[in-house]
Amino acid sequence: MADIESLLKESRTFKPESDFTRQANWNKKKTNEYRKLGETNPTKFWAQMAKQNVSWFTPWKKVLDWKPPFAKWFVGGKTNVSYNCLDRHLEGENSWRKNKAAIIWEGEPGDTRILTYSELHREVCKFANVLKSQGVKKGDRVCLYMPMVPELAIAMLACTRIGAPHSIVFGGFSADALRDRINDAEAKLVVTADGGYRKGAPFALKATVDKAVENTPSIESVVVVERTKQPIEFRTGRDIWWHEAMAEASTKCAPAKLDAEHPLFILYTSGTTGNPKGILHTTGGYLTHVTTTFKAIFDIKDDDVYWCTADIGWITGHSYVVYGPLAAGATTVMYEGTPTHPGPDRWWDLIEKWGVSIFYTAPTAIRTFIRLGDEHPKSHDLSSLRLLGSVGEPINPEAWMWYHRVIGGKRCPIVDTWWQTETGGIMISSIPGAVDTKPGSATKPFPGIEADIFDEEGNTVKGDAGGFLVLKHPWPGMLRGIWRDPKRFKETYWGTYDKTYFAGDGAHRDKNGYFWIMGRIDDVMNVSGHRIGTMEVESALVSSPDVAEAAVVGRPDEITGTAIVAFVSPKGTTTPDDALVGRLKQHVTKEIGAIARPTEIRFTNALPKTRSGKIMRRLLRDIASGKEVAGDTSTLEDFSVLAKLRESDED
Ligand code: WT7
């Protein structure tokens, strides 16, 4: 709880500038009205938002059907996400958007592409027809394992056009991780690319897919985007070049009229135990949630250039690179590569070059740039910026102040947005023209969102106090379940408190009702804003022939938020040396992906355990963060004494 102590010393408050307030989509008055409505009648508030922000083919009969923990929103309503993101910007009073840039894309090598709304519409229709020609039908799952190229957004929208739920797997995941996700979703088709660019060099994707699909019985075809032109193996009969299939495809494809609760996508995320969970999101509620929050929180105007730096493989990219911005008719920037390539000023160069006015990124990136030095942002004209956002983990007040001063030139409001893969869209955030901000606080729940802080017994904590973050009323973007696992859905999110969603985060509410998120309270690590289960890294480690047992914990890290530390007991015949460290890091990278690669591996004869056999993570966490890294990795740490000392109070 030391985190809270330091955060609470933060007392600076920033009022929105009057210049900003005057032009804001949601000013104080409007925000307060919506807050009031959201408090007294959340379904009425969301129904209003669904009418304002989403186009429907058939109106709903019932706003909310809530049989805890199962919610249905806009029951009986019919709509289509790709229709909302594309067609409606080409019609009637919006038809001037036809030639507005929908996506401004820049590749890492510096190549660029701009897709207008009508071009994007054409490409999406074509790819929807390609999917159909490959036998993909409404309800079939499509896996997207791609670099950050426009084809990824095109493929997503094409899936939504025909009602085929997509499952995007972040391009950094390994063949095994990809295979497991494909099998869990029983995807019929994978879209990939030969590769992509990162850190100045091409990386391979198709080779990983080839390996994964050796053991995925459901996959019938693999569509390959040509991006890097690196040599790949091509299996005739199964593999199809994107450009060849697209050349023959018709540009006409009517959007399917889908039920509001039709599955839109599955996205896998880490939990405390077992395999990753396939978080399921559906059509009408999700679209309402992301579009409404996007317009209100990012204050989008038709002449804005909006850039969210997240990879589309994570929920932030789904909701706030693609769906929210396009549904709002905005111009969204997509950048393929590493933030620091070819130089540490690449992002600032992009902001200047494209005139980015709204910028949304993660604290881990901000901290990296702080370390790289102010001269890089200062060497660029960032005056186009007018609003900044943060997401993924708590932003420490120092990073907030730097973001405000150096990037925002002290004139841009900052929206610190708390949400999760499961919530679909932003839940707690400042509204930039209406809410005073405090560095490090996500401020207050969005209207229509009933967030609270509970103690262990499920009582609301009173006054200036901390506890467990919960959501007491269903919201439109809420996950509808875990793919094929309703039992786990109930246990994970609804098993702690009655009819209340348990977010797994600790939080504190100050005397002004501001929320301060303290981070995960379970065994899930937040590494660079992404959740990684300790269990997954442990299973990867023990799948190595050298490892008898492993325990993984997070240690605070200045840049990434959390660094992964693994305690490993090697098998009897294995020598615990530096070579083994290298092998094991490589092994985890292969099993899960580089994102889960341990920063540090420490060897031990035995892991400290309670009498009931539970690993004493708290102890390991202390050791991981307290002690200096031993230069000589061959020293085995012996926890047996410590373990005995702790036995009595850990059971
Ligand atoms: C977890 C969700 C949703 C976007 C990316 C991560 C942490 C997220 C904040 C924030 C403090 C935050 C929480 C949350 N988190 N945003 N603004 N302040 N913590 O999605 O992988 O589902 O992780 O990220 O711990 O539970 P995710």
Res. 137 pLDDT band, cuts 50 70 90? very high
Per-residue pLDDT of 568-587, as tens digits, reads 988 878 888 999 999 999 99
417 Cα nearest atom in ligand 1: 17
**pLDDT for residue 313 is more than 70:** yes
Amino acid (one-letter) located at 605: N
Spatial distance between the Cα atoms of 295 and 330, rounded to a whole number of angstroms: 10
- Residue nearest to ligand 1 atom 18, measured at CA: 394
Tokens read off for 38: 């959201």
Per-residue pLDDT of 509-563, as tens digits, reads 999 999 999 888 887 888 988 888 887 898 889 889 999 888 999 999 989 989 9
- Indicate if ligand 1 lies below 6 Å from the C-beta of 394: yes
- Mean pLDDT across the stretch 77-90? 98
Give residue 463's region: left, alpha or beta (phi > 0; psi -120 to 50). Answer: left
List beta partners, residue 267: 279
Spatial distance between the Cα atoms of 143 and 169, rounded to a whole number of angstroms: 7
- For residues 306 and 512, the answer to whether their CB atoms sit within 8 Å is no
From 319, 419, 501, 508, give the residue whose CB has the most ligand 1 atoms within 8 Å, as the site to mutate. 419
3 state DSSP class of 13: coil
Whole-angstrom CA distances from 316 to 136, 280, 331, 392 are 26, 15, 16, 9
From 173, 320, 400, 420, give the residue whose CB has the most ligand 1 atoms within 8 Å, as the site to mutate. 420
- Mean pLDDT across the stretch 47-61? 98
Amino acid (one-letter) located at 297: I
- Residue nearest to ligand 1 atom 17, measured at CA: 418
**pLDDT for residue 638 is more than 60:** no
Spatial distance between the Cα atoms of 117 and 490, rounded to a whole number of angstroms: 40
Name which of 67, 338, 85, 306 is nearest 201 in CA terms: 338
**pLDDT for residue 253 is more than 90:** yes
Non-local CB neighbours of 146 within 8 Å, separated by 6+ positions:
152, 155, 168, 171, 191, 192, 193, 196, 205, 225, 312
- Indicate if ligand 1 lies below 6 Å from the C-beta of 400: no
529 Cα nearest atom in ligand 1: 6
Residue bearing the bigger pLDDT, 239 or 619: 239
List beta partners, residue 494: none
**pLDDT for residue 641 is more than 50:** no
- Indicate if ligand 1 lies below 6 Å from the C-beta of 315: yes
Helix (H) or strand (E) holding 637: strand 637-638
Res. 13 pLDDT band, cuts 50 70 90? very high
In degrees and rounded to multiples of 5, residue 150 shows phi and psi of: -55, -30
List beta partners, residue 62: 75
Helix (H) or strand (E) holding 368: helix 363-372
Looking at residue 532, what is its pLDDT?
A: 85
Parallel/antiparallel/unpaired status of strands 451-454 and 465-471:
antiparallel
- Indicate if ligand 1 lies below 6 Å from the C-beta of 417: yes
Name which of 30, 26, 28 is nearest 15 in CA terms: 28
What are the domain boundaries of the chain? 539-650
- What homologous superfamily is domain 539-650 in, according to CATH? ANL, C-terminal domain (3.30.300.30)
**Omega before residue 570 within 30° of 0, cis:** no
- Indicate if ligand 1 lies below 6 Å from the C-beta of 420: yes
Q: How many other CB atoms sit within 10 Å of the CB of residue 236?
A: 6
From 170, 366, 517, 595, give the residue whose CB has the most ligand 1 atoms within 8 Å, as the site to mutate. 517
- Residue nearest to ligand 1 atom 19, measured at CA: 393
Looking at residue 651, what is its pLDDT?
A: 32
Whole-angstrom CA distances from 102 to 227, 292, 306, 332, 384 are 21, 18, 10, 6, 19
**pLDDT for residue 55 is more than 90:** yes
Q: What is the dihedral of CA 483, 488, 492, 498, to 10 degrees?
A: 110
Q: What is the dihedral of CA 241, 242, 245, 250, to 10 degrees?
A: 180
- Indicate if ligand 1 lies below 6 Å from the C-beta of 416: yes
Residue bearing the bigger pLDDT, 609 or 471: 471
DSSP state, 324?
Answer: H
- Indicate if ligand 1 lies below 6 Å from the C-beta of 507: no
Res. 384 pLDDT band, cuts 50 70 90? very high
504 Cα nearest atom in ligand 1: 26
- Mean pLDDT across the stretch 232-253? 97
- Residue nearest to ligand 1 atom 2, measured at CA: 420
Looking at residue 614, what is its pLDDT?
A: 67
DSSP state, 595?
Answer: G
Helix 640-650 with 617-626: angle, nearest 10 deg: 130
List beta partners, residue 636: none
- Mean pLDDT across the stretch 175-203? 96
- Indicate if ligand 1 lies below 6 Å from the C-beta of 393: yes
Looking at residue 359, what is its pLDDT?
A: 98
Query: How many Å lie between the centroid of ligand 1 and the Cα of residue 305?
Result: 24
- Indicate if ligand 1 lies below 6 Å from the C-beta of 419: yes
- Indicate if ligand 1 lies below 6 Å from the C-beta of 517: yes
From 470, 526, 530, give the residue whose CB has the most ligand 1 atoms within 8 Å, as the site to mutate. 526
Return the minimum-mean-pLDDT range out of 235-239, 372-376, 382-386, 607-611: 607-611
- Mean pLDDT across the stretch 246-272? 95
- Indicate if ligand 1 lies below 6 Å from the C-beta of 531: yes
**pLDDT for residue 4 is more than 70:** no
DSSP state, 266?
Answer: E
In degrees and rounded to multiples of 5, residue 597 shows phi and psi of: -65, 125
The rounded mean pLDDT for the chain is 92
Distance of CA 455 to the CA centre of its chain: 28
Query: How many Å lie between the centroid of ligand 1 and the Cα of residue 421?
Result: 8
Per-residue pLDDT of 454-470, as tens digits, reads 999 999 999 888 999 99
**pLDDT for residue 1 is more than 50:** no
Spatial distance between the Cα atoms of 207 and 240, rounded to a whole number of angstroms: 15
520 Cα nearest atom in ligand 1: 25
Place of tokens 């900052």: 414
Helix (H) or strand (E) holding 563: strand 561-570
Looking at residue 49, what is its pLDDT?
A: 98
Q: Please tell me the pTM assigned to this model.
A: 0.90
Looking at residue 286, what is its pLDDT?
A: 99
